[in-house]
């Protein structure tokens, strides 16, 4: 009798905690079709420097993590074993799957397909999926809607759903649609008794990933239950849209890095959640959500933004001083969120933001061979070494700043692979009328169909962008083909010029999309010229950064690399500067950068690598050393600058020429400079 009463009370308590979604609010007619949609994986073939980068990844950890990393290699839970059944295997697949199809690499396709097939084939009849649970293994039970509490955390499944979505865009394998439909139907019912936070706060804070895939599937199947699921998930997860629009949350995050509510400030959670308002707008057609997105992103970058385009996240949001760190997972997740936001909103501001992160923050945080990563990068990073630094999560073993395969938390080792692959995947979007949109740029070759008749077309995008200001598009078509082609003019560009077949046809100011509606012929050549002028920007403590186009420039320093070993986290590298770093920029560089900064651009040569030796652009500036600007426990704390923008302390008399190179090619550097006379 007591046992029956206990069970009844548990059921009553669960039902009391479940707030039913009002089905009257689930209105499919409100669902907003994205302005832009992804092209199938395999339509875009990266070339030039971007192809070199993807090949480096294939030959490094992206192509071989399952062979060199014990957690994935040994008895993997996503292949039926007792090993890793958490987030790291799905994280890796979320980058390895698109890489396999971007490079059309048969070996990598076969490798990732093992995990895809096991996951699909081992779905339980109820719709539940994932590694064999402890209850299933110990008791031989099967997870059903009668015992959903015997399942395991919702969170890792969200990442695997993203990998499966990637796989579907490459193959149109209908098993994925059936698999997701069955799972989402199961989840809709199971969440009524096993809430999203039953097993961890991670699922509650990151449910946006779940919502995104459910709404993607709704676009395919028009199953109304998927909208009901998305609404229920939104109800049970962190209210990111309200927080982003409400402002108090991001202000409090700037003021507090204590142990209270730290999941609300966790930088990776925030990076994933950036797309939450856009997804809410997509489901409800309520433009208030777009305002929340705009407000939240602006507040985030104002209070926590750093010169390389991303916000501080070490691991918490931690203000805008250039001595704060950013976790690599936050970099790649911010990029992916922006890619989704772009598709829904078509807002140029987010396109600019995506390129700024991709070309600055992303490349600096890995080694040339893509085998080692830095858990936290720092904008003004004068040394890469063991230490606690000025992070909200310093780690007892002091390994969160060094370059290592397993240094810091290994989530980034598994998750870093989606950055370049998904950027390459989004070099083109489809418009709603089956046209094309070039919203971010890079060298590639496109094959797709366009227009009312789905005519086959190819476009070769020839460019060294972002290291060059000219992009050439060569069209190949069997017959004249009418379609719309949209081109983004970045906000940093004062005025762009478009030529077709050598004739100037249009000019456009920065910060807009230009739409060309015409019949395109075989061998048509479109040239987009985006003149890049040097400029300066203002950051924490009134520091200044030098910019040109989408690239931010940092002090070029000699590098001394040292290899070390930690008994827990393995081999790692430290990097130390071999020259003086404590320069302030002379005021003339700020007052008239075009006159006083000299730019030297060289063509790309040979196999491209993001390192100092391959930097194709240098800017010569002038500066003076600040003798009191010294390292304190490895941190180059920013000198105090007054509101007029100058450092008023002692400065050496000698004026030096200093060399700046793009931030992404540096490991040790100063990027946010104080200004001196």
Backbone angles phi, psi at 586, to 5 degrees: -70, 145
Last residue of a domain, one of 209, 237, 265: 237
Mean of all residue pLDDT scores within the chain: 95
Whether 411 is covered by a domain: the verdict is no
Is a pLDDT exceeding 70 seen at residue 80? yes
Question: Tokens in use for 372?
Answer: 């080692």
Is there a single domain that holds both residue 438 and residue 555?
no
Is there a single domain that holds both residue 504 and residue 584?
no
Is there a single domain that holds both residue 43 and residue 170?
yes
DSSP assignment of 296-356: HHHHHHHHHB-TTSSB-BSSB---S-TT-EEEHHHHHHHHHHHHHHHHHH--HHHHHHHHH
Alpha-carbon torsion 477, 480, 483, 489, what sign?
positive
Q: Alpha-carbon distance 12 to 10, whole Å?
A: 5
At residue 22, the pLDDT reads: 55
CA 238 to chain centroid: 20
∠ CA(473), CA(479), CA(483), 5° rounding? 60
> What percent of the chain stands above pLDDT 90?
92
Q: Alpha-carbon distance 395 to 383, whole Å?
A: 18
pLDDT band at 206; cut points 50, 70, 90:
very high
Whether 101 is covered by a domain: the verdict is yes
Burial of 171 from C-beta contacts in 10 A (0-12 / 13-18 / 19+)? middle
Average pLDDT rounded to a whole number, residues 127-139: 97
The CATH number of the domain holding residue 502 is 2.60.40
Q: Alpha-carbon distance 587 to 615, whole Å?
A: 26
Last residue of a domain, one of 497, 529, 561: 529
Q: What is the 3-state secondary structure (H, E, C) of 174-186?
A: HHHHHHHHHHHHH
DSSP 266: B
Whether 1 is covered by a domain: the verdict is yes
Is a pLDDT exceeding 60 seen at residue 15? no
User: Residue 356 in contact with residue 308, Cβ under 8 Å?
Assistant: yes
| Digit-coded pLDDT (tens) for 333-365 | 999 999 999 999 999 999 999 999 999 999 999
At residue 112, the pLDDT reads: 98
Whether 342 is covered by a domain: the verdict is no
∠ CA(487), CA(489), CA(490), 5° rounding? 130
| Number of domains into which the chain is organized | 3
| Digit-coded pLDDT (tens) for 140-195 | 999 999 999 999 999 999 999 999 999 999 999 999 999 999 999 999 999 999 99
> What percent of the chain stands above pLDDT 70?
96
DSSP assignment of 482-519: EEEEEEEE-TT-SEEEEEETTEEEEEEESSEEEEEEEE
At residue 19, the pLDDT reads: 52
Question: Tokens in use for 553?
Answer: 């420039």
Whether 510 is covered by a domain: the verdict is yes
Q: Alpha-carbon distance 561 to 186, whole Å?
A: 52
The most distant pair of C-alpha atoms in the chain lies apart, rounded to whole Å, by 89
At residue 14, the pLDDT reads: 38
User: Residue 579 in contact with residue 560, Cβ under 8 Å?
Assistant: no
At residue 640, the pLDDT reads: 87
Q: Alpha-carbon distance 268 to 333, whole Å?
A: 7
Q: Alpha-carbon distance 627 to 583, whole Å?
A: 9
Whether 633 is covered by a domain: the verdict is yes
**Residue for token digits 């957690």?**
71
CB count within 10 Å of CB 292 equals 24
Whether 74 is covered by a domain: the verdict is yes
pLDDT band at 8; cut points 50, 70, 90:
very low
Last residue of a domain, one of 512, 529, 546: 529
Backbone angles phi, psi at 3, to 5 degrees: -65, -45
Q: Which residues on adjacent β-strands are paired with residue 647?
A: 641
Average pLDDT rounded to a whole number, residues 48-59: 98
Average pLDDT rounded to a whole number, residues 324-332: 98
User: Residue 87 in contact with residue 71, Cβ under 8 Å?
Assistant: no
Is there a single domain that holds both residue 195 and residue 65?
yes
- Number of helices (H) and strands (E), helices first, in the chain? 23, 26
Average pLDDT rounded to a whole number, residues 433-444: 98
The helix (run of H) or strand (run of E) holding residue 548 is strand 543-548
Is there a single domain that holds both residue 518 and residue 550?
no
Average pLDDT rounded to a whole number, residues 405-434: 97
State yes or no: cis peptide before 466, omega within 30 of 0.
yes
Is there a single domain that holds both residue 506 and residue 540?
no
| Digit-coded pLDDT (tens) for 484-514 | 999 999 999 999 999 999 999 999 999 999 9
Is there a single domain that holds both residue 9 and residue 143?
yes
Is there a single domain that holds both residue 159 and residue 176?
yes
Burial of 429 from C-beta contacts in 10 A (0-12 / 13-18 / 19+)? buried
Name the residue among 373, 222, 225, 243 with its Cα closest to residue 297: 243
Is there a single domain that holds both residue 69 and residue 38?
yes
Name the residue among 301, 185, 281, 200 with its Cα closest to residue 241: 281
The helix (run of H) or strand (run of E) holding residue 63 is helix 61-68
DSSP assignment of 446-478: EEEEETTTTEEEEEEEE--TTSSSEEEEEEEES
DSSP 78: G
Average pLDDT rounded to a whole number, residues 291-301: 97
Lowest mean pLDDT across 98-102, 389-393, 561-565, 619-623 = 389-393
Is there a single domain that holds both residue 648 and residue 559?
yes
Is there a single domain that holds both residue 567 and residue 492?
no
Whether 563 is covered by a domain: the verdict is yes
Q: Alpha-carbon distance 155 to 202, whole Å?
A: 6
User: Residue 326 in contact with residue 377, Cβ under 8 Å?
Assistant: yes
pLDDT band at 455; cut points 50, 70, 90:
very high
Q: Alpha-carbon distance 278 to 212, whole Å?
A: 10
Is there a single domain that holds both residue 457 and residue 559?
no
Q: Alpha-carbon distance 430 to 393, whole Å?
A: 41
Domain housing 666 = 534-676
pTM of the predicted structure, to 2 decimals: 0.95
């Amino acid at each position: 009798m007591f046992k029956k009463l206990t069970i009844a009370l548990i059921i009553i308590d669960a039902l009391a905690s479940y707030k039913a979604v009002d089905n009257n609010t689930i209105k499919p007619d409100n669902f907003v079709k994205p302005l832009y949609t992804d092209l199938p994986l395999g339509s875009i073939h990266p070339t030039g420097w971007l192809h070199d980068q993807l090949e480096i990844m294939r030959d490094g950890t992206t192509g071989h993590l399952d062979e060199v990393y014990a957690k994935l290699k040994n008895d993997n839970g996503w292949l039926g074993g007792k090993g890793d059944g958490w987030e790291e295997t799905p994280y890796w697949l979320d980058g390895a799957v698109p890489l396999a199809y971007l490079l059309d690499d048969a070996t990598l396709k076969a490798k990732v397909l093992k995990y895809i097939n096991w996951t699909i084939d081992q779905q339980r009849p109820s719709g539940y999926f994932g590694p064999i649970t402890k209850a299933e293994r110990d008791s031989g039970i099967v997870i059903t809607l009668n015992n959903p509490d015997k399942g395991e955390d919702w969170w890792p499944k969200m990442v695997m759903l993203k990998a499966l979505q990637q796989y579907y865009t490459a193959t149109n394998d209908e098993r994925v649609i059936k698999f997701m439909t069955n799972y989402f139907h199961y989840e809709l019912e199971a969440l009524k008794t096993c809430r999203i936070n039953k097993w961890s706060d991670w699922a509650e804070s990151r449910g946006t990933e779940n919502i995104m895939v459910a709404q993607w599937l709704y676009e395919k199947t028009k199953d109304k239950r998927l909208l009901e699921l998305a609404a229920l998930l939104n109800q049970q997860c962190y209210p990111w849209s309200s927080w982003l629009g409400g402002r108090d949350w991001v202000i409090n995050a700037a003021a507090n890095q204590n142990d209270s509510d730290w999941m609300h400030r966790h930088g990776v959670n925030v990076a994933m959640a950036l797309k939450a308002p856009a997804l809410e707008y997509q489901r409800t057609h309520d433009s208030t959500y777009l305002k929340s997105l705009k407000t939240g992103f602006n507040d985030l970058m104002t209070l926590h933004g750093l010169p390389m385009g991303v916000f501080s996240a070490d691991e918490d949001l931690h203000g805008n001083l250039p001595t704060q760190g950013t976790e690599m997972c936050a970099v790649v997740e911010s990029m992916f969120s922006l890619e989704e936001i772009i598709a829904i909103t078509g807002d140029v501001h987010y396109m600019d933001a995506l390129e700024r992160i991709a070309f600055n923050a992303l490349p600096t945080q890995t080694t040339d061979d893509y085998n080692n990563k830095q858990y936290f990068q720092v904008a003004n990073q004068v040394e890469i070494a063991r230490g606690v630094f000025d992070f909200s999560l310093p780690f007892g073993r002091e390994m969160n700043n060094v370059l290592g395969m397993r240094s810091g938390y290994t989530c980034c080792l598994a998750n870093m692979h989606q950055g370049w692959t998904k950027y390459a995947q989004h070099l083109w979007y489809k418009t709603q009328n089956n046209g094309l949109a070039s919203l971010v740029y890079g060298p590639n070759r496109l094959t797709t169909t366009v227009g009312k008749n789905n005519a086959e077309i190819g476009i070769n995008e020839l460019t060294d962008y972002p290291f060059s200001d000219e992009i050439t598009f060569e069209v190949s078509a069997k017959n004249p083909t009418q379609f719309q082609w949209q081109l983004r003019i970045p906000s940093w560009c004062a005025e762009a010029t478009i030529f077709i077949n050598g004739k100037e046809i249009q000019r456009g100011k920065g910060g807009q999309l230009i739409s060309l509606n015409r019949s395109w012929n075989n061998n048509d050549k479109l040239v987009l010229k985006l003149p890049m002028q040097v400029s300066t920007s203002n950051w924490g403590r009134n520091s200044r950064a030098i910019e040109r186009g989408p690239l931010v420039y940092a002090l070029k320093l000699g590098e001394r690399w040292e290899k070390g070993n930690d008994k827990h986290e393995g081999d790692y590298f430290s990097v130390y500067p071999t020259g003086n770093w404590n320069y302030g920029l002379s005021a003339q560089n700020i007052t008239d950068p075009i006159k006083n900064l000299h730019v030297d651009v060289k063509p790309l040569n040979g196999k491209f690598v993001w390192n100092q030796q391959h930097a194709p652009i240098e800017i010569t500036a002038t500066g003076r050393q600040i003798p009191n600007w010294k390292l304190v426990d490895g941190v180059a704390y920013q000198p105090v600058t007054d509101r007029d923008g100058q450092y008023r302390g002692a400065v050496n008399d000698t004026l030096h020429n200093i060399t700046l190179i793009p931030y992404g090619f540096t490991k040790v550097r100063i990027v946010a400079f104080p200004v001196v006379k």
